Structure 1
Amino acid sequence: MSLSYQQCEPEFQYHKGQDHDIIEFQVKDFRKDQLRVHMSRKGVLTVSGERSHQGTKGIRFHKEFNPPNGCKPDQIRAKLSSGVLFVTIPKEVVPQPLGQEPLTQVHRASNEKATPPKSETKSFISRLKIERKTAMKVVAGVAVLSLSFIVLFYVYKIYAPVIMHI
Structure 2
Amino acid sequence: MENSHTAKEEQSYEDFVPFCNWQKHEEYDILEIHLPGFRRQEIRLQFNDLGILTISGKQGSDGDESSTTTSMRSRFHKEMKISRNCRADQIRAKFSRGILSITVPKKAVKLSKQSAENSEQSAHNLFGFGGTVLRPKLSKENALKMVLVSLAMVLAGYAVYRLCII
Shift of 1:19: 1.4
Q: Which among 72, 94, 97 is matched to residue 57 of structure 1?
A: 72
In structure 2, what is the equivalent of residue 151 of structure 1? none
2:94 alignment partner, SS class: strand
Q: Is the counterpart of residue 20 in structure 1 residue 28 in structure 2?
A: yes
The answer to whether the 8 Å contact 1:18/1:93 transfers is: no
In structure 2, what is the equivalent of residue 72 of structure 1? 87
- The within-5 A match list for 1:138-153 is none
Give the length in aligned residue pairs.
130
Q: Which among 33, 36, 39 is matched to residue 47 of structure 2?
A: 39
Between structure 1 and structure 2, the one with the greater Rg is 2
Shift of 1:22: 0.5
Q: Which among 10, 31, 35 is matched to residue 18 of structure 2?
A: 10
Q: Which runs of 5+ in 1 are unaligned?
A: 99-130, 149-154
Shift of 1:134: 8.3
Structure with the largest fraction of helix: 2
State the distance in 2 between where 1:2 and 1:72 align.
Answer: 42
2:14 alignment partner, SS class: strand
Percent identity (aligned): 31
State the distance in 2 between where 1:65 and 1:14 align.
Answer: 12
State the distance in 2 between where 1:59 and 1:4 align.
Answer: 8
Q: Is the counterpart of residue 82 in structure 1 residue 97 in structure 2?
A: yes
What's the TM-score, normalizing by structure 2?
A: 0.56
2:109 alignment partner, SS class: coil
When the two chains are superposed, the root-mean-square deviation of aligned CA atoms in Å is 4.2
What's the TM-score, normalizing by structure 1?
A: 0.56
The answer to whether the 8 Å contact 2:13/2:72 transfers is: yes
In structure 2, what is the equivalent of residue 105 of structure 1? none
